[in-house]
Amino acid sequence: EYLQLYFPPNVLHFWELEFNFRTRAKIAKHKGKMETMQEGIDSVPSGRVMIFISAHSKEEQGDLFAGEECPQTKPRPIAVKVDQCFSLLFASRMDHLLKGAMVVLLTCAWLVRHERSFQDLHYSLHCLQVSNCVALTAPHLQSYLSSSFLQALLCKTFIEGATLPSSMPFALENSFCIGQHSNVLLFLLTKASSESPCRKFVCSKFFWWNKQTRPYGTCLPLCCPICGALHCWDRPVWSGLIGEGSWSVGCANPHCGLGKNGA
């Protein structure tokens, strides 16, 4: 509805599909749904597709949940490796739609926090040849907090025609909630050149910075864990040489037992 006002009738297509890969029959059913969807949007030009994937990720490995076992008695979610999940999601000859598309991953941090799942994601994005991918790093992601951020991205890319990388600063500046809730990762597919004929993904990390509550992207608790004082943090202090050292922050309460280095 947010975008419909800016486009003529029958130009903007929106599809929502639930996926469940528990059995071969369900995988085949999903494949049929994807083929039906493609028939409706086959005329969409390359680079004008945005894909949102909403799924839970497993805390121990970063795998994506893709269905449930024993749904009639005691449902138990099942998780599959990231590359396997992507291959099942887009198994129906979607190359012409995926090439140059933008992907938004509404998943918890575990997908990008574990090295194996992160590498599997990188591999999958490269195989699909999407142009950009946005991922969030909140351990317990609340998708609704990303709504203003995503609306700003859609406004800049689909309405104003800007590229997704150039739209990131505007979207982040106009979304206070996402900055407090999660860092944002942007995967960008580089262009081939004579020096680097193979295209690759470069990952950039955006984080919200506030000297009182989140210095250098690190969240500070609302109260001191030692004395319990609220909003008590001193300004961050650098310890060490240039390029080698660490930042520390201490409690401003003079009677607190927390050291000046935060220990």
Nearest to 220 by CA among 235, 205, 206: 235
| Domain identity same for 140 and 256 | no
E runs forming strands in 70-224: 76-80, 102-106, 132-136, 184-189, 201-206
Angle 15-18-19 (CA atoms, 0-180°, nearest 5)? Answer: 125
Task: Please tell me whether residues 194 and 213 are part of one structural domain.
Answer: no
Residue of 233, 226, 49 whose CA lies nearest to 130: 49
Sorted by sequence, the CB contacts under 8 Å of residue 222 that are 6+ apart come out as 230, 231
Q: Does residue 214 sit in the same domain as residue 188?
A: no
How many domains are there within the chain?
2
- Give the CA count within 13 Å in the CB-facing half-sphere of 111: 30
pTM above threshold 0.85: no
Percent of all residues in the chain with a pLDDT value above 90, rounded to a whole number: 17
The answer on 192 and 86 residing in a single domain is yes
The first and second tokens of residue 186, run together, are 């942007």
Q: What does the alpha-carbon distance between residue 99 and residue 47 come to, in Å, rounded to a whole number?
A: 7
Alpha helix (H) residue ranges in 99-247: 110-113, 115-128, 147-154, 164-173, 176-181
pLDDT digits (tens, 9 = 90+) for 64-90: 998 887 656 777 888 889 999 998 888
Let me know whether 102 and 217 are in one domain: no
- Any idea what the Cα angle at residue 259 is, between residues 257 and 263, rounded to 5°? 105
Residues 230 and 184 in one domain: no
Q: What is the pLDDT of residues 222-242, one digit of tens each?
A: 788 888 888 788 887 777 776
Residues 112 and 233 in one domain: no
Q: Which amino acid is at 144?
A: Y
For the segment 239-251, what is each residue's pLDDT rounded down to a tens digit?
A: 777 667 777 888 8
* Residues spanned by the domain of 203: 4-208
The reply to whether 233 and 138 lie within a common domain is no
Judged by DSSP in three states, 67 sits in strand
The Cα 249–Cα 219 span in angstroms is: 12
Is the domain of 161 the same as that of 249? no
Shared-domain flag, residues 222 and 199: no
Residues 154, 133 within the same domain: yes
